[in-house]
Amino acid sequence: MTCIWAVARQMIAEGIRMKIAFVFLVLIGVVLVGLPFSIEGDGSVAGAVQSFISYSLLASGFFLSLLTIFMSRSLSDDFVNQNLFLIVSKPIPRWQFILGKWAGMTLLNLAFLSFAGLSVYGMVRYIQSSHPTAANERDARELHEEVLTARHARKYIEPDLTALVEQEFEKNLELGIYANRPDFDPEAMKLSIFRKYDARWRLVPPRDSRVFNFDSVLCNRSKDETIQLRYKAEVTGYAPDEVFRAVFRFGDPLKGTPLYDVPVRHTIRRYHLVRAPADCVAEDHTLKVTFFNENPFAEEKQAHNLLEIRKGDDVEVLFAVGAFGWNLVRMLVLMMCKLMFLAAVSILSATVFSFPVACLTTFTIYVLASVRRFLEESFDFLLGSDVKLFDSLRDFLLQATAQVYAMLQWLLPDFGRFDALETLVNGRNVGLVWVLQGVADLVILKTVVVLGLAILLFYRREVAETSF
Amino acid sequence: MVKQDIPVVQTVGLCKSFKDFWRRPRVEAVKDLNLEIQPGEVFGLLGPNGSGKTTTIKMLLGLLYPTRGRISLFGRSPSDVAVKARIGFLPEESYLYRFLVAHETLDYFGSLFRLPRRIRKDRTEKLLDMVGLRHEAKRPIGEYSKGMARRIGLAQALINDPEFLILDEPTSGLDPVGARQIKDVIRELGRKGKTILLSSHVLSDVEDVCDRVTILYGGQQRAAGDISELLRNRDVTQFTTPALSTETIEQLGQLVRKLEKKDILEVSNPRTKLEDYFLQIVEEAQRANIRTSGARASGEMPEFLKVAADSTTDTVIDTLIEATTIPATEETKQPSPVEEPVDRTREIVESLLKQSADDTANSEDEMANPITSSDTNVNTDEGLPKTSHRADSAVIDELLGPSANDNRPSDGDKP
């Protein structure tokens, strides 16, 4: 442990005194201090805070990733400048040296990320108090309830249409509709019927209603607390001003909750939040929300539109489960996991290549990990049809690239999967399970494998070898 | 402690070839090298550039892997961490981190030896004193001159009080004070029973400190043996006395002719070595507290590196003075008993001493500052029976101290 700590301290000292870390620290500082004075967002305090959090953490993450990539130069330089002659001749096992280098990078990242996190938190409080609209009660509430919070989301329970589907299927059988159909497939028929009923359920005719049921709404059921319903609606007909009027009723009298009617006047095809006191949630933490396609505003006219809640546009209920501060911390932990993996890749690259090849290799892996989902979709799209290996040079290259990528995939993490920035900005809860998944996948599994590979290569390498 | 029956270094059929990109052998740097260094030896590894000295050292340290052959250090593999804990290494260049300051550098390398913090701190201070860089300990190594960096390199090599010290071109880039200091350290460690492997181009350095040498050429061992045996000139006898008058020299010539039937070949006032003169000037400047941003070789040899039984070597400067001065007491000191029979050479020496007794009394002041031209060298050729040469050297050494060899006249000296 003494040796690991000694190497880590040396690495930190190098980062700071060789000014690599200093440069990135200044860049992060400039972004964090300069952004609040240059961004406007949508004019509201919530928008300004969201823009600041988004840009500042994005920039901090990017700069720290670059710092980690450039820090790989330290080990490359140890080879080139032959500093390793003095280290390898000392009684430090090589694995401890590699681990020390990684620990140094990680501690440096941890310190800088903590600085960034604290600065973001402080600047958010500054914006909150100094923004021109901060005194506006509505804006302040929007900021408090939609941004500076950690909300958990529950999707509604899909209606059980099985009975209806079975009933119609049996009826069709009796009527002989499926007779003389050589391609008759009962399951396909049932699916077809299900789709019909599902689409019908999603369409809400004028003066009709739909019920959305939620369970596990584990919020504080106090009247002073608020729950939010997030939804988006379409109209099948023409809406003159692209606005529809409707009523949401929160609560279930059968479960003894109060009822709250919330009239809304909302724009179509955009997400909206509808708020209600949290005591509308039943004691068993279920929530019933009824959507009425009725115009509650007597003085306003409304066309008799058919409103539609589409399948992809999930209706969800949001409720606070934590504070912004801890949410930020969990988001930073996920960022840290990525940096720890990147540090391991940097070390691995430096054991094989010298500067700048090591940095370029690490940067490439960083980019690939960041766009992995896009790459997967691209390969799936390109190789979706029956591509033969030797049909053309293009197909051959595609197949070869895809195969290489497939081999690398087990090692290459999906940074996008653990990107919690949008979640944080939207005031959503960065779940502990998600964080633990990030730790397990990025650190315990992939970082350990990459570091193991680096140690193996470092053990095999002759440090005094000149021809590399 | 090292067991006497286990060599500190043993190589058997050691070969190293460097390969090109296609893994084809490009250079065969070391060929079939068999080395054995015993505990307590100061061993010199000599050879011209490209002879395989540094490659051999790198293999001993595990920086390179042998292509063929076997290496053992203390009877174990060079990659063994426990073995490395017993080794100190000063490479030919200062491969130190430029951004660390001196005490951080020593603390860092001390940490790699898992030395407790207190010991690291203590040794760091003492080693910085020893190499004369305590006053520059807060400067990054990158700002140091080459010589200063070498001094820190030496300090890091000693931080663990190594049993086996590997020094690759240790005096390269050092000023004469530093070079002398390194040689003193080597001697001191040699006296303490440490094993030292010294690789150098500076043959006088090797000659001054090594017990045994191996000469490499083209990666192969060309010669090996005890250095005093290899370099002994059995055809000449030399002794040095305080300055003699012309009459005494003439009488001495007659005495030699009478006893040995041979002529004295050369009578001269020995020139002091430039190294000694330079050291004297530096010492005077240091005593006068003249400011310098460079090294000040005025520190003490750390306790942990001192010979426990030897209390005469107190400081590095003492060591330097001792090495460059014939002590005033030497003259009156009784020679140690010599096991071999005292022969005619002894008689000559005794006669000389007797004849110059008056001169000696007068020249005592000069003896305290011997870097003068008041000494006389007398060389005779084939004047003594060869069987008595060993005893002659021992007697002269005892009489005149270890610096007698230093006063050997150079080839350019005239009779």
Q: Give the pLDDT mean for A57-77.
A: 92
Question: What digits encode the pLDDT tens for the residues A309-330?
Answer: 888 777 899 999 999 999 999 9
Distance from C-alpha of B236 to C-alpha of B413, rounded to nearest angstrom: 15
Q: Which of A88, A91, A466 sits opposite B113 (nearest CB)?
A: A91
Distance from C-alpha of A225 to C-alpha of A458, rounded to nearest angstrom: 58
Cβ distance of B112 and A13 shorter than 8 Å:
no
> Does residue A145 contact residue A52 with C-beta atoms inside 8 Å?
no
Q: Given this model, what pLDDT does residue B347 score?
A: 55
**Mean pLDDT lowest among A30-44, B101-115, B336-350, B383-397:** B383-397
User: Where in chain B are the domains?
Assistant: 9-230, 236-276+304-407
Question: What digits encode the pLDDT tens for the residues B117-168?
Answer: 999 999 999 999 888 888 888 899 999 888 888 889 989 999 999 999 999 9
pLDDT over 50 (residue B334): no
Distance from C-alpha of A202 to C-alpha of A232, rounded to nearest angstrom: 12
Q: Given this model, what pLDDT does residue B324 score?
A: 34
Question: What digits encode the pLDDT tens for the residues B342-351?
Answer: 445 455 545 5
Q: Which two tokens stand for residue B85?
A: 């804990």
Cβ distance of A465 and B109 shorter than 8 Å:
no
Question: Which ranges in B261-370 belong to alpha helices (H)?
Answer: 274-287, 316-324, 344-355, 357-362, 364-368
Q: Residue A39: exposed, middle, or buried by beta-carbon count in 10 A (0-12, 13-18, 19+)?
A: middle
Chain position carrying tokens 């995939």: A409
3-state secondary structure A76-140: HHHHHCCCHHHHHCCCCCHHHHHHHHHHHHHHHHHHHHHHHHHHHHHHHHHHHHHCCCCCCHHHH
**Mean pLDDT lowest among A24-38, A110-124, B356-370:** B356-370
pLDDT over 70 (residue B72): yes
Percent of chain B whose pLDDT exceeds 90: 26
Cβ distance of A6 and B63 shorter than 8 Å:
no
Beta bridge partners of B12: B70
Cβ distance of B89 and A465 shorter than 8 Å:
no
Residues ≥6 apart with Cβ < 8 Å to A364: none
**Mean pLDDT lowest among A92-106, A242-256, B296-310:** B296-310
Q: Given this model, what pLDDT does residue B290 score?
A: 66
Q: Residue B279: exposed, middle, or buried by beta-carbon count in 10 A (0-12, 13-18, 19+)?
A: buried
Percent of chain A whose pLDDT exceeds 90: 57
Residue B182 confidence class, pLDDT cut points 50, 70, 90: confident
Q: At what angle do helices A372-382 and A357-370 cross, to 10 degrees?
A: 70
Cβ distance of A86 and B81 shorter than 8 Å:
no
A180 shares contact with chain B (CB less than 8 Å): no
Q: Give the pLDDT mean for B336-362.
A: 46
> Does residue B367 contact residue B331 with C-beta atoms inside 8 Å?
yes
* Mutation for testing the B interface, residue in A80, A90, A101, A462 having most B CBs under 10 Å: A90
Q: Given this model, what pLDDT does residue A177 score?
A: 83
Cβ distance of B91 and A87 shorter than 8 Å:
no
Q: Given this model, what pLDDT does residue B364 score?
A: 40
B113 min Cα distance to partner chain A (Å): 6
Percent of chain B whose pLDDT exceeds 70: 67
Q: Residue B3: exposed, middle, or buried by beta-carbon count in 10 A (0-12, 13-18, 19+)?
A: exposed
The amino acid that residue A383 corresponds to is L
pLDDT over 80 (residue B15): yes
Looking at every residue in chain A, the average pLDDT score rounds to 89
Highest mean pLDDT (candidates A420-424, B304-308, B411-415): A420-424
Q: Given this model, what pLDDT does residue B274 score?
A: 66
Residue A350 confidence class, pLDDT cut points 50, 70, 90: very high
> Does residue A301 contact residue A276 with C-beta atoms inside 8 Å?
no
**Mean pLDDT lowest among A151-165, A180-194, A233-247, B205-219:** A233-247
Q: Given this model, what pLDDT does residue B356 score?
A: 46
Residue B217 confidence class, pLDDT cut points 50, 70, 90: confident
Q: Given this model, what pLDDT does residue A388 score?
A: 63
Q: Given this model, what pLDDT does residue B328 score?
A: 34
Q: Given this model, what pLDDT does residue A398 score?
A: 78
Q: Given this model, what pLDDT does residue B286 score?
A: 74
pLDDT over 60 (residue A342): yes
Nearest chain A residue to B93 by CA: give it. A82
Q: Give the pLDDT mean for A333-345.
A: 96
Cβ distance of B156 and A86 shorter than 8 Å:
yes
pLDDT over 60 (residue B380): no
Residue A429 confidence class, pLDDT cut points 50, 70, 90: very high
Distance from C-alpha of A415 to C-alpha of A368, rounded to nearest angstrom: 9
Q: Given this model, what pLDDT does residue A389 score?
A: 59
Distance from C-alpha of A296 to C-alpha of B177, rounded to nearest angstrom: 100
Question: What digits encode the pLDDT tens for the residues A180-194?
Answer: 777 888 898 999 999
Q: Which of A2, A10, A85 sits opposite B97 (nearest CB)?
A: A10
**Mean pLDDT lowest among A176-180, A293-297, B31-35:** A176-180
B57 shares contact with chain A (CB less than 8 Å): no
What are φ and ψ of residue B283, in 5° steps? -60, -40
Residues ≥6 apart with Cβ < 8 Å to A19: none
Q: Give the pLDDT mean for B374-388.
A: 47
B118 shares contact with chain A (CB less than 8 Å): no
| Top-confidence residue, A342 or B333 | A342
Q: Give the pLDDT mean for B324-343.
A: 37
CA distances to A260, B322, B333, B367 from B328, rounded to whole Å, are 112, 11, 9, 6
3-state secondary structure B210-256: CCEEEEEECCEEEEEEEHHHHHCCCCEEEEEEECCCHHHHHHHHHHH
Distance from C-alpha of A166 to C-alpha of A172, rounded to nearest angstrom: 10
Question: What digits encode the pLDDT tens for the residues B25-46?
Answer: 778 889 999 999 999 999 998 8
The amino acid that residue B330 corresponds to is E
| Top-confidence residue, B395 or B207 | B207
pLDDT over 70 (residue B333): no
Cis preceding-peptide flag for A356 (omega within 30 of 0): yes
B95 shares contact with chain A (CB less than 8 Å): yes
Q: Given this model, what pLDDT does residue B379 score?
A: 60
Cβ distance of A89 and B100 shorter than 8 Å:
no
pLDDT over 70 (residue A86): yes
B76: DSSP letter: B
B202 shares contact with chain A (CB less than 8 Å): no
| Top-confidence residue, A29 or B357 | A29
Q: Given this model, what pLDDT does residue B145 score?
A: 87
pLDDT over 60 (residue B335): no
**Mean pLDDT lowest among A2-16, A149-163, A293-307, B108-122:** A293-307
Q: Which two tokens stand for residue A177?
A: 């509709």
Distance from C-alpha of A23 to C-alpha of B177, rounded to nearest angstrom: 42
Query: Hey, is B170 helix, strand or coil?
Result: coil
Residues ≥6 apart with Cβ < 8 Å to A311: A198, A202
Q: Which domains, and CATH codes, for chain A?
A: 2-134+324-460 (no CATH), 162-321 (2.60.120)
Over the range B157-173, which residues count as b (16 or more CB within 10 Å of their CB) and which as e? Answer: bbbbbbbbbbbbbbbbb
Q: Given this model, what pLDDT does residue B177 score?
A: 80
Looking at every residue in chain B, the average pLDDT score rounds to 73
Q: Give the pLDDT mean for A76-84.
A: 88
**Does domain B9-230 fall into CATH 3.40.50.300?**
yes
A385: DSSP letter: S
A443: DSSP letter: I
Highest mean pLDDT (candidates B265-269, B279-283, B320-324): B265-269
End-to-end CA distance of chain B: 51
**Mean pLDDT lowest among A238-242, A367-371, B250-254, B316-320:** B316-320
pLDDT over 70 (residue B366): no
* Mutation for testing the B interface, residue in A10, A81, A89, A459 having most B CBs under 10 Å: A89
Q: Given this model, what pLDDT does residue A387 score?
A: 59
Q: Given this model, what pLDDT does residue A334 score?
A: 97
Q: Given this model, what pLDDT does residue B390 score?
A: 35
Query: How many CB atoms within 10 Å of residue A102?
Result: 26
Question: What digits encode the pLDDT tens for the residues A30-61?
Answer: 988 888 888 777 778 888 899 999 999 999 99
